[in-house]
Chain A
Amino acid sequence: MSSSLIIGQYVPGNSIVHRLDPRTKITVIFFFVFIVFFANSVFSYATLTVFALTTVFITRIPIRYIMKGLTPVWFLIVFTFILHLIVTKEGTVLFHIFGFNIYSGALIQGFAISMRFFLLILVTSLLTLTTTPIEITDAIEDMLHPLKKIKFPVHELALMMSISLRFIPTLMQETEKISRAQASRGVDFKTGPLKERIKAVVPLLVPLFVSAFKRAEELAMAMEARGYQGGEGRSKLRELKIEKIDIAVYLLFALAVAIVFYTRN
């Protein structure tokens, strides 16, 4: 059961990518997503691909594991490729298949767009593969900090996220306990028509909600007893720190961006 309790798809590790400041990772990935749309030459695609694959290599996460995570997306990539193959009518006709003329331009275009897709998803999944949810929460809190000026509840949002993360396993364990208790009373979760099975969820959800509210109330009291009075004047144990390696990553990424812009048509 404990294996099913891993939240998200984080793969523990101690690589440079794992140890990078989460803000660095989020920033680089955010801009990478933009830059991918600017690539339009073989060389610019190659640069981005090398950048992405090198990162994957550094994380030491098995390629097979990453690819497995991308399974739902493969369909989309292949679909995009075929769509472009059929629709685009540029260049010379290469061959004829199922009543369609396949143009050389279509092949190139199909490859380019699928590549774009693949890079986008690969790089964004690297964030969740190498960063714990709580690190992402910390990074978001820090990066949204300027929004405090317009009274956006940044600290509260981050606290909500971290408490949710803390309670996901607890509530999952509880769900399992309740579903066993209800099964022992004759509730059938697994067989019967869909409508019946949906109905069977009700005796599971009601006690779960009741207990979640009770937990929330007790937690609020415990937090208050331990001196919680909002984000004002709080210090933080988990510290985000931009190290030399982060700066190196920024510079490397800037270089990659420069190459992309230099080599695009």
Chain B
Amino acid sequence: MRNKFIEFRNVSFRYSDEEPWVLKNCSFEIYENEWIAIIGHNGSGKSTIAKLMNGLLFPQEGEIIINGQQVNEETIWDIRRDVGMVFQNPDNQFVGTTVQDDVAFGMENRGFPRAEMVKRIEQNLTAVGMQEYRLTEPHRLSGGQKQRVAIASVLAISPKVLILDEATAMLDPKGRMEIMRTVSNVQEEYKLSLITITHDLQEVVQAERVLVMNKGEIWDEATPREIFAKKEALREIGLDVPFVAILTDELKQAGISITNEPLNQEELLEDLWTLHSRT
């Protein structure tokens, strides 16, 4: 049994008293070294969860326990050391005037000695494949490259949880692939929990567990394969169903039996070409 790292206990949140609840009585757990995806339509409360985990917002009701500590004004600086976060807009989270200055920013805030910073800059930029760009200015980088730098910057302080809050939403397909590849490498290389927040079902396939959010509530919690099987329901709460899942559905309707719910083209292909030998 893995240890709980983050725990939400009956958490409710709203931005002000007049406004409706953004999160309604949410309870869930995230374990050490787990990859969890949180998915939901715009306004489903998924980004609010990320900000609550980092102490950028505080819940009105319920409590959030991270690594045995309750999130409040006194503990946020400890918690922010454990919980690293990458945001949506690649430009608006790049603080340094060059790549290495940006990676150093988080470490400078924590008073790391210079020699340690130099070592960690090298190590983390290599992990995201950006070591050649150490002295490059941000406006000469693509969106995907900037997001990779942002990931390196967060990893530099060795957090125990990495949250990607729609980190691929503003990127082109190429940048998106870049980030997803980087993220899965990082997940293997570093021992950390990974929380990817997205509205794109395609990005949840690598996760171990998926939380589906709808209107501030946890709508479902399951493995990606189980989620993919619920196409109609997903469409009802405003999520785009991936092409592979739609195709699988059509094939099934046409009388072709596909046993396992395929997550990507390769798996579907595997199923199809072995079809004859099975029947």
Contact = CB atoms under 8 A, between A and B. Distances in A.
Contacts of A134: 97, 101
A170 B143 CA distance: 12
Contacts of B139: 5, 169-170, 173
B111 A235 contact: yes
A218 B89 CA distance: 8
Given A162-B97, A226-B153, A234 B80 contact: no
B85 A237 contact: no
A229 B138 contact: no
Contacts of A165: 97
Interface in B98-128: 100-101, 104-114, 117-118, 121
B125 to A, nearest CB: 13
Contact of A235 (B93, B95, B117): B117
A215 interface: yes
A236 B114 contact: yes
Contacts of A225: 54, 56, 80, 84-85, 87
B154 interface: yes
Contacts of A195: none
Contact of A218 (B93, B108, B111, B117): B93
B225 interface: no
Contacts of A218: 87, 89, 92-93
Contact of B111 (A221, A228, A233): A233
Contacts of B108: 234-237
Given A236-B114, A237-B101, A169 B95 contact: no
Interface residues of A, number: 30
A226 B92 contact: no
A71 to B, nearest CB: 28
A238 interface: yes
Given A225-B85, A226-B109, A239 B92 contact: no
User: How many residues of B sit at the interface, in one of the four size bands?
Assistant: 35 or more
A238 B139 CA distance: 20
A2 B137 CA distance: 12
Interface in A67-81: none
B19 to A, nearest CB: 18
B95 A237 contact: no
B101 A238 contact: yes
Contacts of B104: 237
A214 B140 CA distance: 22
B114 A235 contact: yes
B77 interface: yes
B87 A222 contact: yes
Contacts of B137: 169
B161 interface: no
Interface string A206-246: 00000000110011011111111100011111110000000
Give 9 nearest A-B pairs by CB, closest first. Answer: A222-B93, A237-B104, A218-B92, A169-B139, A227-B109, A226-B106, A235-B111, A225-B85, A233-B111
Interface of B: 54, 56, 77, 80-81, 84-85, 87, 89, 91-97, 100-101, 104-114, 117-118, 121, 137-140, 153-154, 157
Interface of A: 2, 5, 134, 162-163, 165-166, 169-170, 173, 214-215, 218-219, 221-229, 233-239
19 contacts: A2-B140, A162-B97, A163-B95, A166-B94, A166-B96, A169-B137, A169-B138, A169-B139, A170-B91, A170-B139, A225-B54, A225-B87, A226-B105, A226-B109, A227-B77, A235-B108, A235-B111, A237-B104, A237-B114
